[in-house]
Each structure stands twice: as structure tokens, then as C-alpha cells.
Amino acid sequence: MALSINEIKSGVTVLVDDIVYVCVDAQHVKPGKGAAFVRARLRDMKTNNIQEKTFRGEEKIEQAFVEERKLQYQYSSSGMFHFMDQDNFEEIAISEEIIGDKAKLLKDNLEIMGYFFKGAALSVTLPNFIEFNIIETEPGFKGDSSKSGNKPAKVDTGAIIQVPLFINVGDRIKVDTRTGGTYTERIN
């Protein structure tokens, strides 16, 4: 379905040069002279790169119908990550290239959102916060505070995360996935 430039707004998915983009921001400009146009910031759904594009008044932009599915992580093998669709319980395999750096934060049975275009996986989104158990780190010392620095700690998925000095083996922590897996807080 073709969209006019008036229908381009934040959150709309479009197909430009066979690449699926989601509109991050759109400015509708009506100059005193000449035709109206839209200056849009578009995020590539596969690579997360942001581009600015200008669409002129009479242009038609193809709308991309992106399917959003709730998936549950099962296991990984030979560069493929296997998920179960929560609606129809079918197994879906997504390549390591699409998962990217998020792979280190995938836990068994973790529920994520998958985005698909014409049956092909575009990207996945993890929950904003995930809880992990610390399985390996240097011991903390009495009197260490959160202001005095960080140390590396290995969590139950095998990922290495920087944590405050007072965190010990066996502690449970909360990690922010939006920032690539940074420590947020200790959970009792």
C-alpha cells in the first residue's frame, strides 16, 4: 500500500529501496514557495542505523507491514538461535547476524519481541531489564561502596558485566538491556 507524505509520522514502517525502515521522527514542511515536503529520520530495522530522507509532495512511499511476534528463547546451535512463537507454538530459528550483541543476554525461556517482514526476521527486542545470577567474580570487601569503582563479573549466561565492588558470587543483579547490558541494581 502506498502512503502519501502526509501519512509519514513517528512509528510508521516504510519500504525504501527494498530496506524496511521505521520512522523515528518526521517534520512536515510547507515553505512559502514551492511544494510541501517531509524530512524524516528513519531507522533501518536490521542494522539500527538512522538515516535522514526527504520526501517531496507527490511521492508515494511503500508501507511495510512488519509483523510483531512474542517469542520465547529455547536454545542455540551452530549460529542459529531457536525460539518458540507464543501464539502458535511453532519453532522459529533466527540467525546470529540478526541477534547480534544481544546473544550474550539471552537466558533460557526469556520472552522477547521479534519483528518479521514477509516471513523473514528483521530484528529482536529484549525486555528492558533482565535479572542474572553472578557465578564468578573477585570477592568484595567490607566497606566497598558503589562509588568506588567497578569489577568484571560473569553472569549465568556467560556474559561479562561490569558491577560495583560490593557484588559477590551468588548475588542476583538487574541489568539494563537498552544500554548493552549495564548493571542497574542488586536484588535481594
Where does a domain end: 82, 108, 125?
125
The string of pLDDT tens digits covering residues 66-97 is: 999 999 999 999 889 999 999 999 999 999 98
Same domain, 115 and 158: no
Supply 103's cell numbers: 546473544
Return d(Cα 96, Cα 81) in angstroms, integer: 7
Say whether pLDDT at 166 is over 90.
Answer: no
- Assign residue 32 a region (left: φ > 0; alpha: ψ between -120 and 50; beta: otherwise): alpha
Residues 6+ apart with CB under 8 A from 152: 137, 160, 161, 162, 163
Say whether pLDDT at 147 is over 80.
Answer: no
SS3 call for 98: helix
Same domain, 44 and 82: no
Model confidence pTM above 0.75: yes
Specify the DSSP element, H or E, that contains 97: helix 96-99
The number of domains in the chain is 3
| CATH, residue 138 | 2.40.50.140
Provide the domain limits for residue 181. 129-187
Q: How are strands ordered across the β-sheet holding 13-16?
A: 2-3, 61-63, 13-16, 19-29, 37-44, 50-56
